[in-house]
Structure 1
Amino acid sequence: MEKLVSNLLVKYLENRGIEHIFGLCGHTNIAVLSELEKSSIGFVNVRHEQIAAHMADGYARARKQASVVLSHLGPGLTNAATGVANAALDSIPMVVIAGDVPSHYYGKHPHQEVNLHADASQNEIYRPFVKRAWRVDRPDLFPEIMEKAFQLAESGNPGPVLVSVPMDIFSKKIDESLFEKNNHHTKSLSKPSIDDEKAKEIIQTLVDAENPLFYVGGGIILADAAQELRELVNHFDIPVAHSLMGKGAVSDDNDLTLGMTGFWGTKFINDKCKEADYIFALGTRFAEADSSSWESEYTFNIPSTKLIQIDIDPNEIGRNYPVEIGAVADLKQALTVLNRVAKELVPEGLTNNQIKQEIGNNRKEFTESNKELEEDNSFPMMPQRILADVRDVLPKDAYLTTDVGWNKNGVGQQFPIYEAGSILTPGGFATMGFGAPAAMGAKVAAPDKVVVSLVGDGGFGQNPALLATAAEENIPVIWIVMNNSAYGTIAGLEKAHFDTTHGTVFTKDGESYTPDYASIAKAYGVDGVKINSAEEFKPALQQAIESNKPFVIDAPMINNPVPTDGHWNIMDIYSPGKKVHHASIK
């Protein structure tokens, strides 16, 4: 029987288990919207496509499956591009379905067509960052393309894909058997592992090493392999350092967790990485900030330190450092084999009380060094006080999103995360504006969890219209706006190197200026509180959690930089030989 493509598409998504679609209307996609009205799938309506993409990103991270974005052509697609690119650089599976110009008008420049270099070429805009971009030129090919799109998004190194659909195709009829055929195709591919021989080589190398170290990235979270990792770490008592994206893979209260490396890592953590004779890297691309710009003086001294590396993406093996033992594998599968082989070769495991003691002493020293700032009653608040109060109130299994700036860097360095996957942060693209909408996506995916977004005033100001969606859909996220009336991290950078803050701080008539985000929230129908003293903050957060409603807390904050002992090569570009980083902005 022939049915409308729009109808069959929605039924296909239902059959795949899709429960939510994030997007914004346009004349090219209303045929799909009309079918969604009759569907069990919830359409989460937004006021800007970047919000939709970031929400879908947060949803996919929390749900551990590909999310779906529905977009209009042209400006709708370009508005969503930043959020889709952020997902791409963090390997988050996403299927973007975008309306396009009518196929019979290709090249005539119908309304909003992108065709400056080729007819109907809006799909080319996404080519640099999606895993694949399809343009559907025939309605009978659409079912096959959709199946391929989901499979590609979720397999290998996950990531977003684009399916660009001329609007007339949504309104054409095809035989429903074309979509039904996809029901017979597997929705879960078997993933590659490692053989026992390679596992024995890796385990024996770790056993024979004098000073081995695990270094883990976000790939552990994507592979849902944290439990297997923790088992191997504890069996051998090998310390664990992590990238920003790997935070939480091993709990921050584990005796073997060193912490985050690189520019915002501490000297103790970076030195432990340099001193290792073998590093076992799992699911990390050794990004620049995590690796102190790959300069051996600061974090990783490879190849003096020997490297073992496993990743699902062969492009990451040896990308930035030479590898002695390398394997392409799914981390959950590989770690399952490694744990079995480890127990066969070393049944009783290994004990390293010395490293546990060193880590414990360093953790205690760092905590003591931060205690005065965490208890500081000054106002505007110290950022360390905000983080300490949030950690004190927040349940251990709550979801926390960050944006960029103090909230991201400070959380990575000094905010304990206990549950793997409960911290959502923009890593590869470091997108300002990610954290606030991503929190909404996480809450939609995990409605029973407390979800808090730590975000600067610069990041929250990117898309405050997300509050309209929060109010309409009753998405009870708590946004903590760490408000320093500036793009604070960049202001500190410019001040340190050029002794000016031009273009980085918010002023009006020479005085510091900031919108009242609590009042803005109330205008959208969302509860909001503006903090007037440090003592008010924790009770306000407790109130927000108990309310189970969307809630904005505007917390004025001192613009102090995150302390760092690491290195970033841009410092040498700005100020060669001076070893300066960021300055405090008063």
Structure 2
Amino acid sequence: MKRLISHQLVEYLENRGIEHIFGLCGHTNIAVLTALEESNIKFINVRHEQISAHAADGYARVTKKASVVLSHLGPGLTNAATGVANAALDSVPMVVIAGDVPTHYYGKHPHQEVNLHADASQYEIYRPFVKRAWRVDSPELFPEIIEKAFAIAENGNPGPVLVSVPMDIFSKEVDVSLFQRLTHNTKNFQKPSIDDITAKKIIETLIKAKNPLLYVGGGIMLAHAAEELKELVDHLSIPVAHSLMGKSALPDDHALTLGMTGFWGTEFINNKCKEADYILALGTRFAEADSSSWESEYTFNFPPTKLIQIDIDPTEIGRNYPVEMGVVADLKQALTVLNRVARELVPQELTNKELEKEISEYRKEFKENNMKFIQDDVFPMQPQRILEEVRQVLPRDAYITTDVGWNKNGVGQQFSIYEPGSILTPGGFATMGFGAPAALGAKIALQDKVVVSLVGDGGFGQNPAVLATAAEENIPVIWIIMNNYAFGTIAGLQKAHFGTTLGTVFKKDGKDYSPDYAAIAKAYGVEGVKIQSAEEFKPTLERAIAANKPFVIDVAMLNNPVPTAGHWNIMDIYSPNKTIHHVSV
């Protein structure tokens, strides 16, 4: 028996447990949309493809499974590209299914095809950032390609894949046996672990080390290994520093959590990393901002510090620092073995009360140094007060998305996160415009959790049409627009080094300018409040949480840079032989 590929695709996705598809229509994909009409899969309709990709990214981060994006060719594919690339650089699994030109129109300048250098090759636009890009050349090949797509997206180092499907193939019939045989394939692969000999060597090294330290990245959340990490930390009493993407791997109020390293890390945390004689790195790329541009006097100093690195991706081991021992393994599996071996070698939990006291005193001092900003009644508000009051109001298990700028760097440095994976931030690509739509995807997946997007006015202004989807689907996300009338972080950087803010601040007739985002929200049918005083912010957020509906809070904020004692090499490029970071604008 034969059936249309579009209908068999939808049935295949249902059988995989797909519950939502994010996307936007086009003449190349309406056959799939039609097939979805009778499906239990919910199509999340957006107004811009970048929104669909970022929302699918947020959805995949919290579900730990590949999300699905449905796109059109040409401008649809390129609109989505930024969001797909962001997912790629943060190792987020995603399957992008895109309509393409009909096979019988190859080489004829068909409508909306990108074919300036080769015919039928626009899918290659995605090749630099997806794990695999397919163009389906035969209807009979489609079933095995879509099966491979999910396997590749979800396994190894996760990431997006593209399946570009000529629109006529969506409307071809193939024998149902081609899809049915896929049901015999396992959908969950066994992950690679480590052997006991290797685990014993690692644990013995950490026990004998004078100042051991664990350095963790986003790979902990990708592997769903936070519980195993905490077990190892508690048993061996080893402190944990983390990258931006590793934030929440261990709760910020854990006695041995040091905090975020690098440019937006603090001197105390960076020094602890430099002082370590052995570092066990788990699921981290040692990216530039986290590693202070890899300059040894600021954060990491390999050697004399010695490095043990475990990662699912062998290309990350030894990429930026020399490794004494490299292990390719899934972190959940590896930590399970490490914990068992640790209990065998050290039956009783180790303690390090002196270090715990030192960390506690550091946190107290850091908070005290911020207190003058937290308690300041000035309006526009101090960013530190905004973050403090958000943390006071939110439940412990609330989910946060950030964008870029103060909301990302400040949150990484001074906003406590308690539940593993409950902060979603654009780490690798640092994409402006990620935070607002990513919150949509997270909330769709987590209907019983409070989801708040901390986003700047520059970031929210990228895709305010996210509100249309929120209103249509009644997705109760709270967007807090930290509005400094600027691309604030870049404005502070430009002002510090070049004495100007051209192109980085928003002005009209010499005065600060911003759209009224609360009014824009209301125009979309979403509740919106424009904060008029510092005292008004906290009760408004409490009301937004209680309302359980889409809600925009537009709060004016001073453009003070995130304080940092860290280092970023671009500062040396702009101002050689000077110690200049950012300034207030």
Fold similarity call, TM over 0.5: yes
Q: Deviations over 1:259-292 (max 9, x none)?
A: 0000000000000000000001000000000000
User: By how many angstroms is 1:354 displaced?
Assistant: 1.2
* Alpha-carbon separation, structure 1, partners of 2:303 and 2:3: 61
Q: Deviations over 1:111-143 (max 9, x none)?
A: 011111111111100000000000000000000
Letter in 2 for 1:447: Q
Helix, strand or coil: the match of 1:233? helix
* Alpha-carbon separation, structure 1, partners of 2:33 and 2:349: 57
Letter in 1 for 2:135: R
Letter in 1 for 2:148: K
* Alpha-carbon separation, structure 2, partners of 1:107 and 1:91: 35
Unaligned runs of 5+ in 1: none
Q: Deviations over 1:358-412 (max 9, x none)?
A: 1011001001111111111100000000000000000011110000000000000
* Alpha-carbon separation, structure 1, partners of 2:24 and 2:423: 27
Q: Deviations over 1:152-173 (max 9, x none)?
A: 0000000000000000000000
* Alpha-carbon separation, structure 2, partners of 1:117 and 1:495: 42
* Alpha-carbon separation, structure 2, partners of 1:269 and 1:106: 57
**Residue in structure 1 matched with residue 325 of structure 2 by the alignment:** 325
* Alpha-carbon separation, structure 1, partners of 2:575 and 2:472: 49
Q: What is the TM-score normalised by the length of structure 1? A: 1.00
Comparing 367-376 with 431-440, which one deviates more in the overlay? Answer: 367-376
* Alpha-carbon separation, structure 1, partners of 2:194 and 2:181: 33
Q: Deviations over 1:550-579 (max 9, x none)?
A: 000000000000000100000000001111
Letter in 1 for 2:478: I
**Residue in structure 1 matched with residue 409 of structure 2 by the alignment:** 409
**Residue in structure 2 matched with residue 482 of structure 1 by the alignment:** 482
Helix, strand or coil: the match of 2:363? helix
User: How much is the aligned-residue C-alpha RMSD, in angstroms?
Assistant: 0.4
**Residue in structure 1 matched with residue 96 of structure 2 by the alignment:** 96
Comparing 506-515 with 336-345, which one deviates more in the overlay? Answer: 506-515
- Kindly indicate whether residue 148 of structure 2 is the aligned counterpart of residue 148 of structure 1: yes
**Residue in structure 1 matched with residue 370 of structure 2 by the alignment:** 370
**Residue in structure 2 matched with residue 61 of structure 1 by the alignment:** 61
Map 1:15-34; keep pairs closer than 5 Å: 15-34=15-34
Helix, strand or coil: the match of 1:528? strand
User: By how many angstroms is 1:257 displaced?
Assistant: 0.4
Letter in 1 for 2:278: Y
Map 1:291-440; keep pairs closer than 5 Å: 291-440=291-440
**Residue in structure 1 matched with residue 273 of structure 2 by the alignment:** 273
Q: Deviations over 1:529-567 (max 9, x none)?
A: 000000000000000000000000000000000000100
* Alpha-carbon separation, structure 2, partners of 1:149 and 1:334: 26
**Residue in structure 2 matched with residue 510 of structure 1 by the alignment:** 510
**Residue in structure 1 matched with residue 218 of structure 2 by the alignment:** 218
Comparing 367-376 with 400-409, which one deviates more in the overlay? Answer: 367-376
Identity %: 79
**Residue in structure 1 matched with residue 45 of structure 2 by the alignment:** 45
* Alpha-carbon separation, structure 2, partners of 1:488 and 1:374: 20
- Kindly indicate whether residue 529 of structure 2 is the aligned counterpart of residue 529 of structure 1: yes
Q: Deviations over 1:452-508 (max 9, x none)?
A: 000000000000011000000100000000000000000000000001111000001
Find runs of 4+ consecutive structure 1 residues off by over 2 angstroms: none
**Residue in structure 2 matched with residue 182 of structure 1 by the alignment:** 182
Letter in 2 for 1:34: T
* Alpha-carbon separation, structure 1, partners of 2:430 and 2:474: 28
**Residue in structure 1 matched with residue 206 of structure 2 by the alignment:** 206
**Residue in structure 1 matched with residue 548 of structure 2 by the alignment:** 548
**Residue in structure 1 matched with residue 577 of structure 2 by the alignment:** 577
Unaligned runs of 5+ in 2: none
* Alpha-carbon separation, structure 1, partners of 2:502 and 2:253: 41
Q: Deviations over 1:179-232 (max 9, x none)?
A: 111111000000100000000000000001000000000000000000000000
* Alpha-carbon separation, structure 1, partners of 2:553 and 2:382: 15
* Alpha-carbon separation, structure 2, partners of 1:94 and 1:408: 23
* Alpha-carbon separation, structure 1, partners of 2:247 and 2:282: 13
User: By how many angstroms is 1:351 displaced?
Assistant: 1.2
**Residue in structure 2 matched with residue 135 of structure 1 by the alignment:** 135
* Alpha-carbon separation, structure 2, partners of 1:182 and 1:530: 53
Map 1:239-250; keep pairs closer than 5 Å: 239-250=239-250
Helix, strand or coil: the match of 2:290? coil
User: By how many angstroms is 1:69 displaced?
Assistant: 0.1
Instruction: Give the number of equivalent residue pairs.
Output: 585
Helix, strand or coil: the match of 1:290? helix
* Alpha-carbon separation, structure 2, partners of 1:512 and 1:352: 52
* Alpha-carbon separation, structure 2, partners of 1:304 and 1:406: 34
* Alpha-carbon separation, structure 1, partners of 2:303 and 2:125: 39
Letter in 2 for 1:531: I
Letter in 1 for 2:202: I
Letter in 2 for 1:278: Y
Letter in 2 for 1:374: I
* Alpha-carbon separation, structure 2, partners of 1:41 and 1:375: 48
**Residue in structure 1 matched with residue 566 of structure 2 by the alignment:** 566
**Residue in structure 2 matched with residue 11 of structure 1 by the alignment:** 11
* Alpha-carbon separation, structure 1, partners of 2:367 and 2:465: 38
User: By how many angstroms is 1:26 displaced?
Assistant: 0.2
**Residue in structure 1 matched with residue 252 of structure 2 by the alignment:** 252
**Residue in structure 2 matched with residue 70 of structure 1 by the alignment:** 70
* Alpha-carbon separation, structure 2, partners of 1:386 and 1:466: 23
User: By how many angstroms is 1:15 displaced?
Assistant: 0.3
User: By how many angstroms is 1:349 displaced?
Assistant: 2.6
Helix, strand or coil: the match of 2:482? strand
* Alpha-carbon separation, structure 2, partners of 1:355 and 1:280: 18
* Alpha-carbon separation, structure 2, partners of 1:17 and 1:545: 30
* Alpha-carbon separation, structure 2, partners of 1:111 and 1:249: 47
- Kindly indicate whether residue 519 of structure 2 is the aligned counterpart of residue 519 of structure 1: yes
Q: Deviations over 1:3-56 (max 9, x none)?
A: 000000000000000000000000000000001011000000000000000000
* Alpha-carbon separation, structure 2, partners of 1:546 and 1:141: 50
User: By how many angstroms is 1:241 displaced?
Assistant: 0.3
* Alpha-carbon separation, structure 1, partners of 2:114 and 2:79: 14
Q: Deviations over 1:400-441 (max 9, x none)?
A: 000000000000000000000000000000000000000000
* Alpha-carbon separation, structure 1, partners of 2:12 and 2:185: 13
**Residue in structure 1 matched with residue 263 of structure 2 by the alignment:** 263
Helix, strand or coil: the match of 1:482? strand
Letter in 1 for 2:239: P
* Alpha-carbon separation, structure 2, partners of 1:406 and 1:487: 10
* Alpha-carbon separation, structure 1, partners of 2:292 and 2:322: 17
Comparing 508-517 with 327-336, which one deviates more in the overlay? Answer: 508-517
* Alpha-carbon separation, structure 1, partners of 2:470 and 2:54: 14
* Alpha-carbon separation, structure 2, partners of 1:363 and 1:316: 32
User: By how many angstroms is 1:509 displaced?
Assistant: 1.1
Letter in 2 for 1:386: I
* Alpha-carbon separation, structure 2, partners of 1:68 and 1:122: 20
